[in-house]
Amino acid sequence: MPNPKPTEPIVYRERVRPNLGTFIAVATLLPAVTLVSEPFDYRIGIAVGLILVTSIWAALFFLAPVIQVGSSHLTVARAKIPRNLLGKIEEIAKDQIFSERGPKLDPAAYKVFQGTVKTAIKISLNDPNDPTPYWIISTRKPAQLAEVLRAKN
């Protein structure tokens, strides 16, 4: 059996989860489901509501996109790119996020947004074979991520 390929060391890792308000908003489904099922049996409503809320919480928590920077690659969600193909790295502040996600957004860009995260980074690509002009990625720590990406290996 061949030896598995060694994994590269991880320099930075962030799971971009929704904020607490999202989880609280989902919790309001419990009384809503209980109220709707009240004519039948409130206990069924509570059980279904708990299963529903727990399932949505788990999905929000575990399916949140992951940003991972290794010594040679950047991985965001399911996309992976060598770090030597990364160009200019811009931090996008809260006051710029609306226009960057809206009017200024190039449809060909690779986008990983978390709606409740109001900061991001924009990374231009230096790959002539890739039609993607840039990646725009929601992150809670844009300065730290940009610093890690700019650092030489």
Helices (H), 9-108: 20-27, 29-37, 42-62, 97-101
What CA–CA distance (Å, rounded) separates 48 from 133?
45
Mean pLDDT of the chain: 91
Q: Domain ranges for the chain, please list them.
A: 18-62, 69-150
Q: Is the confidence at residue 18, as pLDDT, over 90? A: yes
pLDDT at 153 over 60: no
| pLDDT given at position 94 | 92
Alpha-carbon distance 86 to 141, whole Å? Answer: 18
What is the model's pLDDT at position 2? Answer: 55
Cβ contact 120:142 at 8 Å: yes
pLDDT of residue 3: 53
Mean pLDDT of 132-146: 95
Confidence at 4, pLDDT banded by 50, 70, 90: low
Secondary structure of residue 123 in the 3-state scheme: strand
The pLDDT, as a whole number, for residue 7 is 74
